[in-house]
Amino acid sequence: MIAFPNAKLNIGLNITERRPDGFHNLESVFYPVKWCDALEILPAEETVFTSSGIPIPGSSESNLCLKAYGQLQADFDLPPVKMHLHKNIPIGAGVGGGSSDAAFALKMLDELFALNIGRERLEDYARQLGSDCAFFIHNKPVFAKEKGDVFEPVALDLGQYTCLVVYPDLHITTAEAYGKIKPKPAEVSLREAIQNGITTWQKTITNDFETALFSTYLVLPQLKAQLYQSGALYASMTGSGSAVFGIFENEVPAGLTFPTTFRTWQGRL
């Protein structure tokens, strides 16, 4: 079985308070985009994980795909599998690629072995693997709160727009980014602001990690400014960075160029 785990964007990200468990409560809109990895899972004689494409830091055992397998193996006594991941989504970009791989692994194993786990329990497994992992189970736009793993529906369809995501070859770990944050209550209700139309977002919708990271990594504000200068209706860093995205009314302007070390994705939302 093969599937294509996709990335996500954060449209707005308010880090509202530090929790007693050391994590942070947040408010964000998570939106899926079709920047994808490829994950194949097949029954096998013994369990092995291999990968190609972008090198993934850490051992195979620490890969989230194998951790997802381990979770279900413990509860369902699964037979061994061979997993191969072709990594295409940049790592440490704030687009949730690793979390998506893990969530897709859970969904694929559920289907492959007819476990009938159901969406809610799959989300419970996913939450234990990473805060934004549960999002990728249903994989539809949502308003996310608490650790980023509790969802409310949001009526948001950006299908008419085109998006450009730019990863400036800068790996920012989520833990580093949270370490630089001073949590504060949101000044504007994201739930309301998101409904006011994309042309209002530049003034109302913010990502708190921008404040924390822009003064250290100057390429980030430069990229954001470049996207606005090129006609983006809305531009922002996603998640804890370092990818920055712009949403355009029509096609992404042809003249936008970046250094060859940057990775980009563009497509319909």
Ligand X SMILES: C[C@@](CO)(OP(=O)(O)O)[C@H](O)COP(=O)(O)OP(=O)(O)OC[C@H]1O[C@@H](n2ccc(N)nc2=O)[C@H](O)[C@@H]1O
Q: Which residues are annotated as a binding site for ATP?
A: 90-100
Q: Which does 158 bind (CB under 5 to 8 A by kind): ligand X, ligand ADP, none?
A: none
> Which burial class, exposed, middle or buried, applies to 153 when counting CB atoms under 10 A from its CB (0-12, 13-18, 19+)?
exposed
Closest approach of ligand ADP to the CB of residue 64, in Å: 4
CB 149 within 8 A of CB 131: yes
Give backbone dihedrals phi and psi of 128, rounded to 5 degrees, phi first. -75, -15
Among residues 20, 22, 55, 58, the one that binds ligand ADP under rule CB under 6 A:
58
Q: Mind telling me the catalytic residues? A: 8, 132
CB 91 within 8 A of CB 171: yes
Chain residues binding ligand X by CB under 6 A are: 10, 13, 23-24, 26, 28, 94, 96, 99, 130-133, 147-148, 174-175, 178, 239-240
Site string for ligand ADP, 163-182 (x = CB under 6 A): -----------x--------
- Interacting positions 62-91 with ligand ADP (CB under 6 A): 63-65, 85, 87, 91
Task: Please tell me the distance from the alpha carbon of residue 222 to that of residue 237, in angstroms, as a whole number.
Answer: 11
Task: Please tell me the distance from the alpha carbon of residue 238 to that of residue 12, in angstroms, as a whole number.
Answer: 8
Cis omega (within 30 of 0) for bond into 189: no
Q: Which residues contact ligand ADP by CB under 6 A?
A: 56-58, 63-65, 85, 87, 91-99, 101, 174, 239-240
